[in-house]
Amino acid sequence: MALARLSRWTHSKWTEARQQLSWARLKERPPTLWLWLGVIKQTLALCLLLILTFSNRFAETIPYPTALNGAVLVIVGAYPGGTMGKCFEALLLGSVGFGLGVLVYAILGELADSPTGQGFIFAIWVYLAALVRFGGPKYISFYLYGVLFSFNGIYGSITEGGFNKQFFLANAVAYLWGMAISLGVNLIVWPFTAEAELRQLLVTSLQHVSTLAHLTCKTYARELDQDEVDVRQVLVKALRSDYLALNGRLDETSFEITFSRWSLKHYRDMIKAVQGLQQALITSSSAIDLISALDPRGINSRHLLARSEAAKTFADFRHGIDLVIAEIIDELVGPVAIDVEPDAELAQQNETMAERQTSGQSQAPATVDPDEQLGHALHTSPTPTAAQEKMTTVAARLKKEVLESEQRHRRIREESLRSASASRRGDNSNASSRPGTPGHSNLPSPRESTSDLPRGRSDRRPLDETAVPGEAKRPSDIPATTTDPEKAEETHTDVVQIFRKAWDAFARAQQDALVSLIKDGSIQVDDVLRIEEGMPSIKEMYAHRLPKAWTSSLISQTPLARLRSRDGTSPATTVVEEEDAPCSDALTKAYSLLFGLGQLTEELAILSTVVRANQRKKLRLYLFRMLLDRVKKLWGPKEDMNLQEALATLHGVEYKPVKKPVVQKIARVERWFWQQRSIYAAKVAMATTVYSVFALAPTLQQHVFLRIGQVSALITVIVAVAPTLGGTLSTWLLQVSGTGAGALVGLIVLEIFHNVGGYKYNPYGLVAFGALWYAWSSYKFLQHPAKYTQSLLYVTGYSAMVIQEHLYNDEPSVRRSFDSPGLRFGFTIASLGISMAISAVFQLFVFRQPARRRLRLQLADVLFALSSYNTMLQCFVNLVAPADEAPVPRQEALAKVQHELIKRESKIQASILALAPTFQFAKVEPKWWAPFKADTLLKIIRAQQVILDRLREARTAVGMKGFNPTIHHDFANVLFPYRLHSQRLARTLFYLGATSLLSKTQLARDVPSSKPTWASFEHDALVLSRRMSRLPRGERELKRPGFLRYWFYLVSLGSVSTELEELEKHLGELFGDPDVSNPYIS
């Protein structure tokens, strides 16, 4: 017995220790561990190359050992300290660039007798490579490997007198060694995958979602303190950063081969669901902000949450969010089975939450690669440490509050059961087989349902296109409670099912409260349809546009003044009587909040289904699957119907393809050559051509290029010429500091180890001090990806100094007279100056591209794209919800238009995110006579993001089938004129704003306003709702999902008009007073 007890104790301790030291447990540690592992790996790779280079036996295997200097750049560009996916991606793209560079090298070598031909071919190749580089930071290895290796074809033909096969092989072998070392270190020395980091980022995003959802609920209930208000604002911004980080990690994951439960499609579905959660919370947060602005005293919230049923279901809903997210996290990173007391368990959960949140926040910027600045304009910048700490504290407090609230409701239910009479208990037992109702809910407490039973799995119910996401089943569809353990496992242990029931109960309680407020007349709305009234007089039309007119004594007693007194502050007696009356404007925004929370419920259910898919862990060939998908996309069957044909079909017009004339195609090609991408590539090609003149012109070749060793300065030219002037100014600073500091450290180390240990320059000391310098450079490189250029030049500057000096002075096969370290340092700085001068000439005088101008054009492009999207959306809405009895449109055509809308949403979102780097570069440029109005531009960018969010929400509300027959006939048809008028005003406002940005022209003061239209629109919709509630079937119709969706559609488009008018104000601040002559023209 004692032996068995000892065996069990040993086994439990061993299991606990194994769990504490497990790989999954290690991954929950702060990202500092992975950062330092990356630093060690990258430093090890660079030191390994340095050791091999200083080894005489290894150097003798290469005909030209100095060519190994090029392998340093290869190692840095291959990311040996990054994830496996990042390293594979860089090496794969770099290999393609290297292969093309080999081809160009061979061509340039064959053209050794024609320097003009060499320069021409090299310029074309650089132009094409720069076109690829413009596509994003991930192509930088392709760009650097291809251009720098191919230039060796020119350099070799100069130094060797023509194409030298041995020189070519030496350079190729050096690049291949760099790739091999990078790949070997990345795979052998503590490899970590992007797939694991993607799961960790998903966990972090879910923690953000959970915390923001609770804060949104507390805001609705008016329970927030100041710390929670601050955290809520931070989290709304953090969602954008999560969006970028997840997509970046998914790209890296697609280049991996690893063991995993989930395929690439699973991860895409997970990220899509998480982004749906983020969008739902953005919707809910926007609705909360609107409610708070219209109802600062929270009267509506008190009315809507006054019933005990609403408060109880609200608490269950909040606790259900935690349950579902906790289950998803367990599936993603694995549960930690440690036996602790309840209080200690809560502390452990809070500690784990803090670790995961800190982990995700620190890793997110690294995924966005070179644009670490990407963010202030779009809320995508890294969260400060102080904000992270506050976020962690608030998250732990929220979790504790939810648990305490759930326990309080459980005690209330237990006391209610104990105080019930025997007959009452008998009635309840007879009614236990009946479905629950809002008044007497049979829904189990989430904690009660999951505390003693294992978690079950069940299929998600299908999403009805006409139903609100997460909308309740009818009471007859809710499963009955049971005491049978087997049945209980099926009906009660599915956390998602419990969460859905909690949401359904809360949604029903809110709908009951909303309908009651509409029906009993609590909302002070006149029972008059404004759409049937006559047009306002000129006085009424401009009553709010000419405030100074009210000071005139001549009209103080006119009907106009009386009109304003009615619209202004009510008498004191009225205020006293109606101080607790609900606000009708805020009430309509409550429908948006319910829709957003419904989306949150649905997306959580989808995510849980995807994550809990019964997949076994196996070898996943993500890389091959990604390549196969891209090949299928290129060569797969094309769509049967294009957009123009779909629109023509929906409008009942015969589609006739328009054949474009040749002249039009030529004009399109010409416009493409004048785009920023082509201009940037052309400027890089011209700059490298001038650089090539130093190598090919005989006089410059002998006295400058070969004398000072200018071959290594080509990287300065191709990196310094940036798409914008601000980008070049930023790069210059990084290049001067990187090359200068690297060469200076190399000079100091060479002087320290000069004539030490029997060597001219002691290799052991060079490697030892080089390891310290490489570690610092790698830390900067991995911690601040935006400073990629600086970190790269730190390494190449040091390595070029020490490798050349050691090889030419200590390697017997290449020993010859060479420059002293001081002279070599001076030549390096001189080469840097020449290269920067070349880039400065082309950036300042040839097709100059100021970042400010580029930012303004990008803003105009986004606004034009939003205008086009809005027009197509309104066309789509008019088709699915027409004013007359039009025939049902073809679903195939509708699906094509909806797919196009979704695709445009993604493009516009990418365009908005691309504004942030340009914004940062614009701030760097000299201000001269025109100040840079950063705050105003940020307001414009944020307004564009809000407009996109609201338009996306409107599309989601309409869906593919429009509204149900009741809403269609009794609301949409009656109020159709409002829709037409608002559409016309929206198109006008979009056009005016876009043309103002494009032409740098002030907007007129009296641009059309859509606020009166939308105020009347919502007023009449409320009047119709009240009339509907008095019909026999009215209350039931008002509780149907279609009614909620219709109100959400109205609120979303109304917010678009509000943001457009705010955008007008920002443009007025940007371009000045319209009564003054335009400073940009005069």
Residue type, 929: W
Question: Rounded to whole angstroms, how far apart are CA atoms 277 and 265?
Answer: 18
pLDDT of residue 16 exceeding 50, the answer is: no
Residue 1074 confidence class, pLDDT cut points 50, 70, 90: low
Cβ 250 vs Cβ 272: under 8 Å: no
Cβ 432 vs Cβ 480: under 8 Å: yes
What's the whole-number mean pLDDT along residues 683-700? 87
Question: Rounded to whole angstroms, how far apart are CA atoms 310 and 302?
Answer: 11
Question: Rounded to whole angstroms, how far apart are CA atoms 1080 and 1082?
Answer: 6
| pLDDT the model gives residue 568 | 40
pLDDT of residue 204 exceeding 80, the answer is: yes
Cβ 607 vs Cβ 328: under 8 Å: yes
| pLDDT the model gives residue 410 | 54
Whole-angstrom distance between the N-terminal and C-terminal Cα of the chain?
99
Higher pLDDT, 1050 or 862: 862
CATH 1.20.58.220 domain position(s) in the chain: 851-1071
Lowest mean pLDDT among 546-550, 657-661, 847-851: 546-550
Higher pLDDT, 321 or 586: 321
Lowest mean pLDDT among 226-230, 311-315, 398-402: 398-402
Overall pTM surpassing 0.75 (yes/no): yes
Helix axes 385-419, 226-253, angle to 10 degrees: 110
Lowest mean pLDDT among 469-473, 656-660, 1033-1037, 1065-1069: 469-473
Cβ 39 vs Cβ 81: under 8 Å: yes
3-state secondary structure (DSSP) of residue 535: coil
Enclosing H/E stretch for 204 = helix 194-220
| pLDDT the model gives residue 372 | 38
Residue 459 confidence class, pLDDT cut points 50, 70, 90: very low
Q: Tell me which CATH code domain 851-1071 carries.
A: 1.20.58.220
| pLDDT the model gives residue 861 | 93
Cβ 231 vs Cβ 394: under 8 Å: yes
Higher pLDDT, 251 or 614: 251
- State both tokens at 193: 């995958």
Residue type, 129: A
Backbone dihedral region of 546: left (phi > 0), alpha (psi from -120 to 50 degrees) or beta?
Answer: beta
3-state secondary structure (DSSP) of residue 832: helix
What's the whole-number mean pLDDT along residues 416-434? 46
| pLDDT the model gives residue 48 | 94
| pLDDT the model gives residue 773 | 94
* 63: phi then psi, degrees, rounded to nearest 5: -60, -35
pLDDT of residue 375 exceeding 50, the answer is: no
Exposure letters 42-57 (e unless 16+ CB within 10 A, then b): bbbbbbbbbebbbeee
pLDDT of residue 406 exceeding 80, the answer is: no
pLDDT of residue 335 exceeding 70, the answer is: no
pLDDT of residue 760 exceeding 50, the answer is: yes
pLDDT of residue 441 exceeding 70, the answer is: no
pLDDT of residue 1020 exceeding 70, the answer is: yes
- State both tokens at 61: 């295997």
| pLDDT the model gives residue 767 | 93
| pLDDT the model gives residue 437 | 32
Question: In the predicted model, what is the mean pLDDT of the chain?
Answer: 75
Query: pLDDT tens digits for 915-973?
Result: 888 888 888 888 766 778 888 888 899 889 889 988 998 888 888 877 778 887 888 88
Higher pLDDT, 140 or 636: 140
pLDDT of residue 284 exceeding 70, the answer is: yes
Lowest mean pLDDT among 446-460, 525-539, 896-910, 965-979: 446-460
What's the whole-number mean pLDDT along residues 698-710? 79
Lowest mean pLDDT among 279-288, 432-441, 730-739, 807-816: 432-441
What's the whole-number mean pLDDT along residues 904-910? 89
| pLDDT the model gives residue 436 | 38
* 187: phi then psi, degrees, rounded to nearest 5: -90, -30
Question: Rounded to whole angstroms, how far apart are CA atoms 537 and 200?
Answer: 62
* Residue 111: other Cβ atoms inside 10 A: 20
Residue 2 confidence class, pLDDT cut points 50, 70, 90: very low
Higher pLDDT, 400 or 232: 232
Query: pLDDT tens digits for 77-125?
Result: 999 998 999 999 999 999 999 999 999 999 998 888 888 888 899 999 9
Question: Rounded to whole angstroms, how far apart are CA atoms 903 and 720?
Answer: 34
Residues whose CB is less than 8 angstroms from the CB of residue 193 and which lie 6 or more positions away in sequence, other chains included: 83, 84, 85, 253, 256, 258
| pLDDT the model gives residue 582 | 52
- Which residue, among 17, 90, 34, 24, has the nearest Cα to 259 in the 3D structure? 24
Question: Rounded to whole angstroms, how far apart are CA atoms 615 and 620?
Answer: 12
What's the whole-number mean pLDDT along residues 698-725? 82
Ranges assigned E (strand) in 507-621: 618-621
| pLDDT the model gives residue 145 | 93
Lowest mean pLDDT among 266-280, 353-367, 846-860, 1055-1069: 353-367
Q: Are strands 754-756 and 759-761 parallel, antiparallel or unpaired?
A: antiparallel
| pLDDT the model gives residue 31 | 55
| pLDDT the model gives residue 696 | 84
What's the whole-number mean pLDDT along residues 550-556? 42
DSSP string, 670-737: HHHHTSHHHHHHHHHHHHHHHHHHHHHSHHHIIIIIHHHTGGGGHHHHHHH--SSHHHHHHHHHHHHH
Lowest mean pLDDT among 432-446, 783-797, 1063-1077: 432-446
Question: Rounded to whole angstroms, how far apart are CA atoms 861 and 855?
Answer: 10
Most confident range (mean pLDDT) of 531-540, 638-647, 843-852 is 843-852
Higher pLDDT, 391 or 741: 741
Query: pLDDT tens digits for 28-55?
Result: 444 577 788 889 999 999 999 999 999 8
Share of the chain above pLDDT 70, in %: 73
- State both tokens at 160: 């060797």
| pLDDT the model gives residue 429 | 45
| pLDDT the model gives residue 341 | 35
| pLDDT the model gives residue 170 | 92
Question: Rounded to whole angstroms, how far apart are CA atoms 665 and 669?
Answer: 6
